[in-house]
Amino acid sequence: MKLNELRDNPGAAKKSKRVARGPGSGKGKTAGRGIKGQKSRSGVAIGGYEGGQMPLYRRLPKRGFNKPNAKKFAVVNLGQLQAFVDAGKLDAKAEITEDLLVASGVVRRKLDGVRVLAKGEIKAKLKLSVTGASKAAVAAVEKAGGALTVTTASAAE
């Protein structure tokens, strides 16, 4: 294969329809927008507008409070950890850190840290070092003969 023989797969690069470029294009004159009305004009902001009545998003009550600086944790369940150990993707003898969890594919990214929850069973003796863990998860890991250290005290329940 040579450089001049390189081609994209057939149908991979679809040319965009050029609208308002004459009657021969099939999308001439009104460019597929129909005739008149707000939607045929440019700069339309129809979004949540309901023709003057009170929009639905303003009629519904607002409840609760969204903390602007809330931490978003990547969640790992004990069952997931056990499955990855069984599959040989995690080494049960080595200390398991957050970076190791990302590298092995248990979590996609760390976000503000990794939090271990107690869903599922753990049989392997694991030495975990994570940002947060539920009390039940800590108890389950210790019951299996492992150790779970939480690196920041504020994240633990």
pLDDT tens digits, 11-37:
899 889 999 999 999 999 999 999 998
Instruction: For 51-102, write each residue's pLDDT tens digit.
Output: 888 988 899 999 999 999 999 999 999 999 999 888 888 888 888 899 999 9
Determine the 3-state secondary structure of 84 from DSSP: helix
Percent of the chain whose pLDDT exceeds 70: 97
Fold held by 74-155 = Ribosomal Protein L15; Chain: K; domain 2 (3.100.10)
Instruction: For 135-150, write each residue's pLDDT tens digit.
Output: 999 999 999 898 888 8
User: From start to end of the chain, where are the E strands?
Assistant: 74-77, 95-97, 114-117, 127-130, 132-133, 147-150
Q: What is the pTM of this model?
A: 0.56
Question: For residue 156, what are the contacts with CB-CB under 8 A and spacing of at least 6?
Answer: 132, 133, 150
Domain ranges of the chain: 16-64, 74-155
